[in-house]
Amino acid sequence: MSPTEAIPLLVVVLLMISIGGGDVQEMSVTFQGDSAVDSLADVHVVAGGVTTVPGDAAVDGDLYVIGGTAVVEGTVDGGVTLLNGNLSVTDGATVTGTVQTYSGSATVSSGASVGRVSQFEAPTPSSSPAQQIGGFLLQFLVLGAFGWWLVERHPHLVGNVGAAITEHALVSAVVGSLGATTLLVLFVYMAFTLVLLPVALVGLFAEFLVVLYGQTVFGYLVGTRLPIEHDGVATIAGIAAFLLALELLGLVPYLGGIAQLAVAAVGFGAVLNTYFGLQRFEPITIPGGT
C-alpha cells in the first residue's frame, strides 16, 4: 500500500489515537518490505509489507494494521487494532490489551495470551425504499433552499458559475480535479498534527460545501431549460431533476461513478475559477495567438 492509498485509513488511525489520548508525534509507519519490530515509539502503523514482533521481543505500545500483514510472535504491552489487511497472533504470543478487528483477516491462536478479543460488527445498512427516498428528499431540501436563496438574492453568483460550467467545462474539470485532490491531501497531512486537526476538519467540511455549491448551480442550469417563468421555482425543479439524474447514473456500474465524479469536478472547478461566482471566468489568452 502506497502512502497516498493509505491516507484515508491513516486519518482514521490519527483520530483514534487522538481520542485515546495517544501522541501522534511518536507514530511510526511501515509501507512495504519485511521488518521486525523489537521496540515501539508509542504507536506503530502497518500499512504494507510484513511486520513481525519476534518471539523474543517485548514491545510497549499500540499496533495498528491498515494494510499488509502483521505477525505477533512475542509480547505487545498494549492493544492491536486491525482496520484492513491481515493479522496473526501465534502460539506463545502475548497481547496485554485488546485485539480489535474492524475489517480484514485476523487469526488469534488458542495458545496465545490476549487480554480481550473484540470483533466489530457493522450495522447492516437498510436499503428500504423509505430510507432511500428520505435521504434523497433531505438532499433536495438542502440544495433547493440554498438554490432558491442564491437565485433570489444573488443571481449574478449562479450566473457566473453557470457560465464557467457551460462555456469552459474542460478547464473547470481540470481545475476542479487538481484543486479538490490537492486540498484533500493538504488537509489530510494537516490532520497529522493535533494543533492543525481542527483546521483540517473545517477545511474538509468547506471542500464538501464547495461540491454542494457546484451541484446547486448544475440544478440552476437545468432549471433554466424548463418551461417555468419564475427563476426560483425553476431552480428548485432543476435541482430535483439534476439529483434524480445523479441517482440514476449511480445505478450504472463503473461508468456511473466516473460520470458522477466528473460532474463534481466540473462544478468544483467552476466555483474556484469564478471565485465563488464573484467574477466571470475568462481564460487567459496568449498575445499573438490565433
Phi, psi of 121, deg, nearest 5: -105, 105
d(CA 262, CA 161): 16
Residues 21 and 86 in one domain: yes
pLDDT, average across residues 19-39: 77
* pLDDT interval class at 228 (50, 70, 90): very high
Residues 100 and 140 in one domain: no
Residues 233 and 154 in one domain: yes
Inside any domain, residue 281: no
Q: Please give the model's pTM, rounded to 2 decimal places.
A: 0.61
Note every long-range contact of 281-286, with CB atoms under 8 Å and residues 24 or more positions apart, other chains counting: 281/160, 281/163, 281/164, 281/168, 281/171, 283/168, 283/171
Residues 41 and 23 in one domain: yes
For residue 126, pLDDT beyond 60: no
pLDDT, average across residues 134-150: 93
Residues 144 and 238 in one domain: yes
For residue 76, pLDDT beyond 70: yes
Inside any domain, residue 110: yes
Q: Cβ(42)–Cβ(24) under 8 Å?
A: no
pLDDT on residue 23: 63
Inside any domain, residue 290: no
Residues 134 and 48 in one domain: no
Inside any domain, residue 289: no
Residue 128 or residue 218, greater confidence: 218
pLDDT on residue 201: 83
CB neighbour burial string for 178-201, b if at least 16 within 10 angstroms, e if fewer: ebbeebeeebbebbeeeeebeebe
pLDDT on residue 197: 72
* pLDDT interval class at 211 (50, 70, 90): very high
Residue 61's DSSP bridge partners are 42
Inside any domain, residue 189: yes
Q: Work out how many domains the chain is built from and give that number.
A: 2
Who contacts 219 (Cβ-Cβ below 8 Å, separation ≥6)? 143, 144, 147, 235, 236, 238, 239, 240, 241, 242, 243
Inside any domain, residue 91: yes
- The model's pLDDT over 44-63, given as tens digits with 9 standing for 90+, comes to 889 888 999 999 999 988 89
d(CA 124, CA 147): 34
Residues 163 and 84 in one domain: no
Residues 138 and 239 in one domain: yes
For residue 25, pLDDT beyond 70: no
Inside any domain, residue 83: yes
Nearest CA-CA partner of 220 in 284, 281, 274, 152: 152
pLDDT on residue 123: 58
Inside any domain, residue 284: no
d(CA 254, CA 220): 27
pLDDT on residue 288: 56
For residue 122, pLDDT beyond 70: no
Residues 89 and 136 in one domain: no
- The model's pLDDT over 165-204, given as tens digits with 9 standing for 90+, comes to 999 999 999 999 999 888 887 887 776 665 677 888 888 8
d(CA 210, CA 273): 12
Residues 9 and 86 in one domain: yes
End of a domain among 93, 119, 145? 119
For the chain, give the mean pLDDT: 86
Q: Helix 155-167 to helix 169-190 angle, to the nearest 10 degrees?
A: 110
pLDDT on residue 124: 55
d(CA 114, CA 266): 51
pLDDT exceeding 70 applies to what percent of the chain? 87
Residues 10 and 135 in one domain: no
Domain that holds residue 153: 129-273
pLDDT, average across residues 107-113: 93
End of a domain among 98, 119, 140? 119
pLDDT on residue 43: 84
Residues 103 and 140 in one domain: no
